[in-house]
Amino acid sequence: MKKKLKVLALFDAMAPTALDQDLSAEMKTDNRKTEANVLAALSALSCTPDHLVLFDDLDLLRQKLENFTPDVLFNLADQFNNNRGFDQNIVSFLEMQRVPFTGCGSTGLLLCKHKGISKKILSYHRIHVPDFVIIPRGKRITRPKRLKFPILVKPLKEEASLGISQASFVETDEQFRERVTFIHEKYNGDVIAEEYIDGREFYVSLMGNLRLKVFPIRELVFREVPPDEPRIATYNAKWNEVYRKRWGLQNQFAEELDPALVAHIEQTCKRIYRLLTIDGYARIDLRLTAANEVYFIEANPNPILAEDEDFALSAGKAGVPYPQLIDRIIRLGMKTVRG
């Protein structure tokens, strides 16, 4: 009989944790939906699961690795000591420990997290990206003349639309300066300012290492947003249910796409995935202009894995039910060549 696989699920936390942190109450909340879904899948797969909640203490992780000796780590930790920029450092530690883990390695996480470097690599390879400028904290705030309004001002290295609101969309130099200052000061982060690409917003989910599988394309539709208003997946647009209802925002499968266009999007996303050295699984955010040009917006390695989010829904539509999806992610993680 085959030995049961020992899988250590690694979670993050926003306050110090203990080795045997009790999560049973938290697991029932929306904040821990992904973790709860993944743990349930691991049980259904008849693995031997365990979990560790990491805040800032790598000794806990070392102890857990020693005591439990997992075959593979299921990595759901994307912050360390309340810093989301450290996701790649957690993974670097795992790479040095030589423990197999799921998802993306440190190089892919680094390249994707930096919204400037990823775009430079892709534009070198002739993938359409919005023209942009990076404005670090402490640097004088000026708009290069080549950068045309409207412009979207974003934190250079954030996720989940943190720091992105309707005020991020700017049409004058005064609004530009104001918003850049706001991100510098309130978010304590560097800025990337990009030309605004008007068009449909697509989310493309991919899985694999050498051979890639692309799942059906999802779209965020802005049903009730007036045609002359900017369409942006702001923080509220992603996370505020009342706001989503108010503006008719809905994530759904993209409809009425020409098969040749779908093939082009799939090829483009595979190239992006490889150029940014992503491993495991990812969701790539794109915009499609009225002229049918595909623009890269962002790559998300280790995208949210909750059962009701775009990645799992796309996989499900392609005939990969949730526990099998988790199983495949684990197998890929065990096979990934690191470092």
Ligand X SMILES: Nc1ncnc2c1ncn2[C@@H]1O[C@H](COP(=O)(O)OP(=O)(O)O)[C@@H](O)[C@H]1O
Contact positions vs ligand X (CB under 6 A): 115, 130, 152, 154, 158-162, 164, 194, 196-197, 201, 232-233, 285, 287, 297-298
**Least distance in angstroms from the C-beta of 262 to ligand X:** 20
- Alpha carbons 193 and 16: distance in angstroms, whole number: 35
- Alpha carbons 65 and 325: distance in angstroms, whole number: 24
Stretch that binds Mg ion, among 37-45, 63-71, 176-184, 282-290 (CB under 5 A): 282-290
Amino acid in position 202: F
Among candidate residues 33, 30, 43, 13, the one with its CA nearest the CA of residue 326:
43
Q: Which of 53/191 has CB closer to ligand X?
A: 191
Q: Which of 227/319 has CB closer to ligand X?
A: 227
Residue nearest Mg ion (C-beta atom): 298
Q: Which of 50/131 has CB closer to ligand X?
A: 131
Q: Which of 49/303 has CB closer to ligand X?
A: 303
Are 147 and 168 in contact, with CB atoms under 8 Å apart?
Answer: no
Q: Which does 35 bind (CB under 5 to 8 A by kind): Mg ion, ligand X, none?
A: none
My answer on whether omega of the bond before 155 falls inside 30° of 0, hence cis, is: no
Q: Which does 197 bind (CB under 5 to 8 A by kind): ligand X, Mg ion, none?
A: ligand X
Q: Which does 232 bind (CB under 5 to 8 A by kind): Mg ion, ligand X, none?
A: ligand X
**Least distance in angstroms from the C-beta of 298 to ligand X:** 4
Are 315 and 303 in contact, with CB atoms under 8 Å apart?
Answer: no
Cα 96 to Cα 60, 77, 170: the distances in Å are 16, 17, 44
Q: Is 309 in the site for Mg ion (CB under 5 A)?
A: no
**Least distance in angstroms from the C-beta of 320 to Mg ion:** 23
Total residues at the site for Mg ion (CB under 5 A)? 2
**Least distance in angstroms from the C-beta of 281 to ligand X:** 17
| Terminal-to-terminal C-alpha distance of the chain | 33
Residues 287-306 that bind Mg ion (CB under 5 A): 298
Stretch that binds Mg ion, among 39-47, 57-65, 174-182, 280-288 (CB under 5 A): 280-288
Q: Residue 193 half-sphere exposure, CB side, CA atoms within 13 Å? A: 32
**Least distance in angstroms from the C-beta of 39 to Mg ion:** 26
Q: Both tokens of residue 104?
A: 């993306």
Q: Which of 81/166 has CB closer to ligand X?
A: 166
Q: Which of 12, 35, 194, 285 binds Mg ion (CB under 5 A)?
A: 285
**Least distance in angstroms from the C-beta of 235 to Mg ion:** 11
**Least distance in angstroms from the C-beta of 105 to ligand X:** 19
DSSP string, 97-149: HT--BSS--HHHHHHHHSTTHHHHHHHHTT-----EEEE-TTS-----TTSPS
Are 146 and 163 in contact, with CB atoms under 8 Å apart?
Answer: no
**Least distance in angstroms from the C-beta of 302 to ligand X:** 13
Among candidate residues 296, 301, 329, the one with its CA nearest the CA of residue 109:
301
Q: Which does 194 bind (CB under 5 to 8 A by kind): Mg ion, ligand X, none?
A: ligand X
SS3 288: strand
Binding site for Mg ion (CB under 5 A): 285, 298
